[in-house]
Structure 1
Amino acid sequence: MEPSQTINIRLFHTNDIHSHFETWPTIVGLLKSKRELAKGKGEATLTFDIGDFVDRFHPISEATLGKGNVELLNAAQFDAVTIGNNEGITLSKGELLNLYADAKFEVLLGNLTISDVDTKSFSKPYKIYEKSGVKIGVIGLTVAYPVFYETLGWSIKDPFEALNEILPIVREQSDLVIILSHLGMRDDQRIAEQFSGVDIILGAHTHHLFPNGEYAGETLLCGTGKHGNYLGEVLITLNKESKSIINTEASVTEVHKEPKYYQDETTKVVLANLMRLSGEILSEPVTQLTSNMNVNWFKDSPLPKLLASALRQWTKADVSILNSGILLDGLAQGHVNKGDIHRICPHPINPCVVHLSGKELLEALNRCEDKELTHLKMKGFGFRGKVIGRMVYDGIMIVDRDKKRHFNQEDIFINGEGLDLKRKYIIGTLDLFTFGHLIPQIRDADHKRFFMPEFIRDVLFWALKSV
């Protein structure tokens, strides 16, 4: 078909940046260059972020509660974003409602709703863009964690149910349908299998990388990995008269390999200013230590013990269990500020309580003392450390802890009394252990209560205030 009979639309997309701003000036420089090239060819462009752009491990995101991230997206001239779980469940409801107050882009989110009658939503489920005469329907969806969202006061809907309602409305108004999906690769594939009329899914959440996209049926799936390592691009060629798709071509640019001259100088200045501002905000004093409080990931040490004691008190639990690796470093004698606490405990991890029988607790403690778990190097479930480390307890005493590999009922004392296998105990711990395979007994507990929006560093802050 002759070029005069076709229309080209070019999409740019990022996902799961997680406040890793190391490559952000290069990404912005590339976007500016690529948009100019597209403009020169008569191509329309749209730029999207697919969520988890904010991650409070970074001082800018912590100090500004994500608003610094929004400033960066504004400056980079994004057209729309959807949210990930890091925006959705690591901020309070009020903080999320305020996050995008100054946004110059759309927030598209079809499965999170506000029950408060008088509260204005920060998002809309979809938007219809018109580019070069082509109507492009864009829908946003995020992964549903009902317990966490409901604890924070939100109503989160199953994304497939939401899409079932939204897609027919959008499809009817659009020549082309795109989903900004912070659902993960498997759910993207499931959408492609179960729903007709979805042309492109720009994916996220599972950090998958599709260098040239992948087709599931007639739907093109895309993903750019994580941490700004890649910038995604999709060239869509349509018939000018019928507006039907002739061809799609997906690609990624490996950002680290691009020359330094692509780095956008204005973005570097904005980041430097945000770092200065964040330093000022996080300089708020917390306490003054009369001696060093060290951390050792593989031996008993004072700061993890202080945190375990505080966690037990703060959650009003019978005992507490946490890992030494939750603290990345100790605190030196002298002044301690909020930035120090954030530096050593950057994880978006919430305190929680679970109820375990004595029998389940015994099994959990044997798992906790497993050397494989102690030395496990991991990332994920909010953990931003290097290694799980030795478990730290408050209210639990294990006889000959360092001499045995397996423990029986008679080896365990709870607040000075022998372990009762039939009694129910309230355990103060970290939400980290309610996921995955780390401590199955905690993961599988019938009763769980999460403290949100507080992070474990808020408990440390509370403990140090009284030191």
Structure 2
Amino acid sequence: MKHSVETIHIYHTNDIHSHFDSWPQISKYLISQKQKHAEMHETSFRFDIGDHVDRFHPFTEGTSGKGNVALLNQAEYDAITIGNNEGITLSKKALNELYIGADFDVVLCNLNDSDRFTPKWINRYKIYDSEQGIRIGVIGATAMYEQFYSQLGWVITEPRSELIKVAREIRGEVDIIICLSHMGIHEDRLLAEESETIDVILGAHTHHLFTEGEMVDETLLAATGKFGEYVGHVEILFDNQAEKVVGKKASVIHVQQLPTDEEDRNEVHKLMVAGYEAMDEKVFYNHTALRQELFGPSALATFFGAALLAYTETDCAMFNAGIFLGNLEAGWVTKRHLHALLPHPINPCIITLDGAELQEVYALSTTPNWPETEIKGLGFRGTIMGSMMYEALYLNEEGELIAGGRIVRPGKTFTLATLDMFTFGYFFPLLKDAPKEYVMPELIRDIVAWYGKKLAMDSMGYLDGNE
């Protein structure tokens, strides 16, 4: 017999970013809550709202993200959407293969193949039935990094309009619509204002936390911050007789409130070890130890600058010393070493600048307080900026800026290789709109790997030619 009012329980996570320290507690909690609700003949779902994958962690890097999918399977998630870390830090091939073997649905309405074909692993929406026959429609979208997706061979479309379109499309088939949104708090609020059909928006991307949710018109917004610090719980009350939602509320559970034991800590350690073992492959032999210096020139920075210049074939290069999280020791360099040195999901970028623009960028890069500046986000996984490093870019004795052996003057064109995080407008506003080409899917550690191999091959060729 149907109860007049049924409660739908939704548990959600977002922006875990491969921070697995609390994952065993989260997983056990989700499974126990699922079992509890099942015993009480209540309906419950588990959703992740993207950026579960982050290549800074050895387990994620070593398994190309498939380890993350296995963890989501173990925790018995029902559906997820992807974040920008899944979407643009993995190659197209890796993303197409990521969810093979997933026991959950991937819900995403604004990403297609370059020929506008929707890949088999993507569902534009999913409809689930509750214990009492209530139909719950789940839709999802991810943030629009158009140039990044385009260079990887994807077509990404404006998420809010796509979500509104899909919500209207399924409204007649469902009783409740839940949106998995990896768009950010501002976009979520706009979506809630623009759509009259979405009941709940589970948010992500901007790492915002709603301890009790936020109502925008008739839509409930919920989000759990970042790094698995919280698990969200949304309750939707649906009146079967009136055939409408009559109540909804959101709360969060701090993972410190969840029980933990030695077994959990061992599980976290096993993930790290598994990642290390998967990255023990030798890449190249390094004959001389390369030391880092956070606030000045170093052998490591010189090596990286040369690698960046050689790979991009640009006039000059600029990057910050804070990207190096250690030294590159002499001996065999493995994937594990390179990942520890440069864990950031950061791509190189080639920017075309007028001489006057390059002069402005160079002048801004010498801002005195920048080396001590803490950086959070933008793909950076270090702590502080460090000094700005330059390759083939310097001031001569007359105080003239030289790039690629030429005096930098207005009216002349130059190409600059730098890090993608400097192109988002936070540090160098001019670079945001400058003509650019992102080097993808190669991350900066891939450039070091390529250059190390190149030097080894060049050395062998030189020796062979003199035998």
Normalising TM by the smaller chain, what interval?
over 0.9
Which of 333, 336, 349 is matched with 1:336 structurally? 333
Contact 2:92–2:153 (Cα < 8 Å) also in 1: yes
Q: Structure 1 residues 83 and 399, CA, compared in 2 at 3 Å: closer, same or farther?
A: same
Paired amino acid for 1:250: A
Paired amino acid for 2:92: K
* Deviation of 1:273 (Å): 4.8
Instruction: Give yes or no for the alignment of 1:454 onto 2:450.
Output: no
Paired amino acid for 1:424: T
Superposition pairs of residues 67-466 of structure 1, within 5 angstroms: 67-116=66-115, 120-132=119-131, 133-260=133-260, 265=263, 272-399=269-396, 410-445=399-434, 447-465=435-453, 466=455
Superposition pairs of residues 31-50 of structure 1, within 5 angstroms: 31-50=30-49
CA deviation string 1:193-212 (max 9, x = no partner) = 01101100000000000001
Contact 1:137–1:177 (Cα < 8 Å) also in 2: yes
CA deviation string 1:271-327 (max 9, x = no partner) = 555434322221111233333210111010011111111101110101111111111
Task: Give the Cα separation in 2 of the matches to 1:318 and 1:416.
Answer: 8
SS of match in other structure, 2:399: helix
* Deviation of 1:270 (Å): 6.1
SS of match in other structure, 1:260: coil
Runs of 4 or more above 3 Å deviation: 115-120, 267-277
Task: Give the Cα separation in 2 of the matches to 1:268 and 1:176.
Answer: 39
Give the stretch that moved more between structures: 355-364 or 70-79.
Answer: 355-364
SS of match in other structure, 1:163: helix
Match of 2:29 in 1: 30
Task: Give the Cα separation in 2 of the matches to 1:95 and 1:206.
Answer: 25
Match of 2:459 in 1: none
Task: Give the Cα separation in 2 of the matches to 1:284 and 1:169.
Answer: 49
**Aligned pairs, how many?**
453
Task: Give the Cα separation in 1 of the matches to 2:114 and 2:392.
Answer: 41
TM-score for both structures, normalised by structure 2: 0.93
Give the stretch that moved more between structures: 92-101 or 273-282.
Answer: 273-282
- Give the superposed CA RMSD: 1.9
TM-score for both structures, normalised by structure 1: 0.93
Paired amino acid for 2:70: E
- Identify unmatched segments of 5+ residues in structure 2: 457-467
CA deviation string 1:11-69 (max 9, x = no partner) = 00000000000110010121122223323433110000000000011111111111000
Give the stretch that moved more between structures: 147-156 or 326-335.
Answer: 326-335
Contact 1:290–1:333 (Cα < 8 Å) also in 2: yes
Task: Give the Cα separation in 2 of the matches to 1:278 and 1:436.
Answer: 34
Contact 1:308–1:394 (Cα < 8 Å) also in 2: yes
* Deviation of 1:415 (Å): 3.5
* Deviation of 1:163 (Å): 1.9
Task: Give the Cα separation in 1 of the matches to 2:355 and 2:376.
Answer: 30
Task: Give the Cα separation in 2 of the matches to 1:311 and 1:426.
Answer: 12
Q: Structure 1 residues 118 and 129, CA, compared in 2 at 3 Å: closer, same or farther?
A: closer
Task: Give the Cα separation in 2 of the matches to 1:79 and 1:318.
Answer: 50
Task: Give the Cα separation in 1 of the matches to 2:195 and 2:117.
Answer: 34
CA deviation string 1:168-195 (max 9, x = no partner) = 1221111001000001101110011011
Match of 1:406 in 2: none
- Identify unmatched segments of 5+ residues in structure 1: 401-408
Task: Give the Cα separation in 2 of the matches to 1:316 and 1:349.
Answer: 18
Over the matched positions of the two proteins, sequence identity in percent amounts to 41
* Deviation of 1:120 (Å): 4.3
CA deviation string 1:228-280 (max 9, x = no partner) = 0000001112113233112112100010243325x8x5x76765554343222
Give the stretch that moved more between structures: 330-339 or 143-152.
Answer: 330-339
* Deviation of 1:115 (Å): 3.8
Contact 1:210–1:222 (Cα < 8 Å) also in 2: yes
Task: Give the Cα separation in 2 of the matches to 1:249 and 1:81.
Answer: 21
